[in-house]
Structure 1
Amino acid sequence: MSNSKNNTSYRRLADVYDHLMADAPYDQWMQVAVEVWRHAGVRPARVAELGCGTGSLTRYLLEHGLEVWGVDLSADMLHVAKEKVERSHPDAPVHWLCQDIRELTLRSQVDSVLCFCDTLNYIPDADGIQRVFAHVYEALVPGGTFLLDVHTPYKIAEVFGNESFTHQDEEVAYIWESTYDPEAEAVEHDLTLFVQEQNGLYRRFHELHRQQAYHLADLTDWLAAAGFELLSITADFTRQPVEADSERAFFAVRKPVRED
């Protein structure tokens, strides 16, 4: 699963999202950020997290003493995030923004922007991606870093492809059917969930999500066109380069200290 990019699609999913994402490696996403900052020789104080969902990674950022702007299109996801963070970090410096990241607007610049959990694959076209990059550039202080990841075209086509996935436990069951469009290089996830109510009965609801594949060369070009300097491109929570069968690509870029 992934962070929210569609307000309608995630409306009913917000209540069970954390249950479905219980095994998501948020600690590894945090470690990726820490390693990039260390290699870049920066110590950010203010960070924006795009597609923050229910705030699971947000809590890791707060534990590192960072002031956080949590941005998501889904008000329901943000509601869950706010309640969760208030329980664990009641006095934390966190600001919640319900925004489409293609129209990102922060009241002040930040030291780093994170866009993890394949959030960008939910942007349906190249124009939208380039708009995100332009707004992130403006949101960063000179020398600020932008860290992002995407599902690779390999994962979109070969891992999701035209596959079906099922899951069942005591609280939630789902049937997840993926359909790949080779011409568009996009996959649709048709998800039917059965969620147990307090009376023991199960409530059924349906979700439809679309993820677009983006090629690394295109992303690299669009980041450069936005003005960013490339720091690294790595694969699958490692420091290794992206290979033909890598499933997740991480980009780290920086806004120049002196703009041309």
Structure 2
Amino acid sequence: MYSAVIWLVDGSGWSNQMLSPWLACLTVEEQLRYTRFIRPLRQREFLIGRVLLRFAIARLGSVAFSDVSIATAETGAPVAIVPRWPATKGDRPHISLSHSRGWVACAVSADTTIGLDIELPDPDRDFPALAAVAFGVSESKWLSRQPEAVRTAEFYKLWCAKEALFKLSSNVNSQLTQFERNNEGINEGINEGMSERMSERMSEPVNDGSKETSDQEGHLYAIPHQQLFACLCSTHPLAAPSLIELAGDSPYAWSQYADRHLPDGMPSAL
């Protein structure tokens, strides 16, 4: 069975000054990109995301944190570069990154391409206007039929589903030469209404409480969290995805926390 792990960090209360030592972990190209962000929040999310990716990949492959670099594909998706990646962990790590209002999450897998999205609800968001722009006609109609008491939650579920599927498509595009022809359907784009169908069918819980549904373009998992909406999409069916919300303000502190809270069978070396 294929597997994936989601690592989550709440960086909403951290200052850029507190995180400034982390810049030493980044490449020169990443540091330049960091300086181009105008808003401090986006700088913080970018920096946390790049460090979190290195942390997650190092743990997945039991390699040194310093052995992991992050490049950017033509699609804009982050790509892991790990010269000492162990052959027993597949040909390369598969990764996906998401952020929302100070929260940052990354998903990693050794054996299947993935796409992740998280959304922290924003009470000031104009849902009807955004739905009209972002959703197809059938999706907007489906959303309008939902009871008012749950319409906001259904909006975020649908939004997360579309974003996760889009990121999966981007990651497949950046790695297409690695895939068999039967996965090319993902490369052709996301069919209108697919995420709507998935949202409607997210009703069967798997072991950890997450909900899974599938379509020809991928397998989508709604990941439960008290504050966030989160969706993970993969090209292959997964065992129940693990979500670990980290505590601490450094990769070392994350590692110490993770060692105490790891599900059975997950690697413990940073």
Q: TM-score, normalised by structure 2?
A: 0.26
Higher strand share: 1
Higher helix share: 2
